[in-house]
Every structure is written in structure tokens, then in C-alpha cells.
Structure 1
């Protein structure tokens, strides 16, 4: 019986991810266009928009991104287990920054900031939905958040500069 439930769970998870992928495909272009329109025109060798940060700023961004990725993985596993408390607590911890990123935000183009704020809003929504919404509804918001991660990584690249040399 448990094996049957597990198989059904994986099939259901796959279906939800497929729906999320279709949703991502429809919004990815819009997010990419937003990022491209509002950032600096300099491009890296791979065509992404260059974002100039100090080593400390890049370390902060990397730590934030790793936290988002780990949180999304934890939430995805919790959805499969229908562990609403873990979903709520994990998403709730990611809904706000710790305040240390204000300097990075001031150096960042609007498109990058919009994606970050939108991602944090997704975490807020997931946390708010965790105790009452259907798991497939929560999974769709997780998919939307992952789409923003993909759009940002596909549009921007952090380039390290010496302290004080970061372009505003």
C-alpha cells in the first residue's frame, strides 16, 4: 500500500511540475524582458547582463541564492510529504532578507531588484498558503519561484570589481 501511495505521489508531483513548467514557459520571457530592459547595457561573454559587485557583495548574493535553493528543495520535499509546518516555516524564513543586502540593492538595476522582491513575495505567499491551500496550489507557487530563479540566472551575471569600483 505504501509503495502504491509513493508511486502515486511521484506521478502527481510530476504532473504538478509539468503544469509549473508550462506556466514558467509563459512567464519566463516576460521576466527576461523585464530584466533586460531595466539593467545596465554591458554584457558578459555569455550574453548576460553584467552586474558589478565587490567580493563581499558577491558573497552576500551567493549566500542568499544558496539559501533560496535549499529552501525550495526543502519545500518541495515537504510538499511531497504534505508537511505543512515545514512548508510554512521554511518559506516564512525566506520571505524577508536580513537587512544586510541594502547596499547590494542600491547597486543593483531595477530588473534585478524586481525579481528579488517578486521571489520573496512568492515565499511569503507559500508561507501564508501552507496551512490551508491544496498542495498542488502551493506547488504552482514554488514553480513560479523557480521560474524567477531561472530568469534571473539566465539574464544576469555578477562580475567582481575591486572595493569602491562597483558601478552605481
Structure 2
């Protein structure tokens, strides 16, 4: 099944991943092909279905943010609304002092799992692997060597908390 003729194809790749690129990607991944088995989710018959799906998801996210809710996308990050109070600012061209009205802004805090995925060694990130979304909820695996027999056995752990990406901690367990 081909993309509709009305769907624009760009001669050079875009610098950013836009909504239309997301729609195209979802459509290509879930389009209905004859002879294929239903294996990884619903099948989309038309490009318009993919567009409706993406618009609905983005609309729900925007609606939740308007209501002041926190939007948590596991493995990607967290979107929150922050209230900014009135403050004094300055016009950069004229230097004139002015009052900036109170307003709300959206803040995005990226997931430690996404950061770890982005900062993998180049050899692993160049070859695209199919990932199971359920794996994003589990900690990052760290190879451990067996320590010599001692009273305390150090176990290296990888922190997955804010500000501690990639740092190792050692927890000592007493053997009885």
C-alpha cells in the first residue's frame, strides 16, 4: 500500500522530527498489507487514521496540561506546568524596564532511561534494535565480576535518579 499522492515527500531529510513525519512513521509501521499476520498492534487502512490517532494523542496531552496535570511518558520524560509569577524585565533593544505578566510554562524533564539510550556507545546506537517497551521500566543492566571471598561483597549499582546518571555506587552486603 502506497502513501496517498497528497502526502508531501521532501527531497531532503528534515532537520527535526515533525508531526507529519511522526504520522508518516506510524502509518508505515501499522499499515495494513495483505498477506501479513497481525503481529505488532492494530493495522491502519488509511493515512488519515494515523493522522487522527496522532492528533488525538497530542490533544489529550495538551488537555491534561491545560488542566494542570502532570503528563508522564514512561521511558521518554515528564511534562509539567509551572506557574510563573509577575516580574520585572527589560527590553533588550531599548533597555526600558517593563513588567512581565504572570503566565504558565511547560517544563520537560527527560527520562534517565532515554538519556542512557542516547548516550550508548556509538557502535550500539548505530544499529537499530527492536526494543520491547516493557524493558524501559527496568533498570539498566551492569556487568559485574565476581569478587574474591571476603566478609563484605561490593555490588556496583547504576543510579537512575535526577542528577546521577551513569554514576556508580557501591553497597556493601555483610555475609553471615
Q: What interval of TM-score do these two structures reach, taking the shorter chain for normalisation?
A: under 0.3
Q: TM-score, normalised by structure 1?
A: 0.24
Q: TM-score, normalised by structure 2?
A: 0.23
Structure (1/2) with the larger strand percentage:
2
Structure (1/2) with the larger helix percentage:
1
Greater RCO (CA < 8 Å, at least 6 residues apart): 1
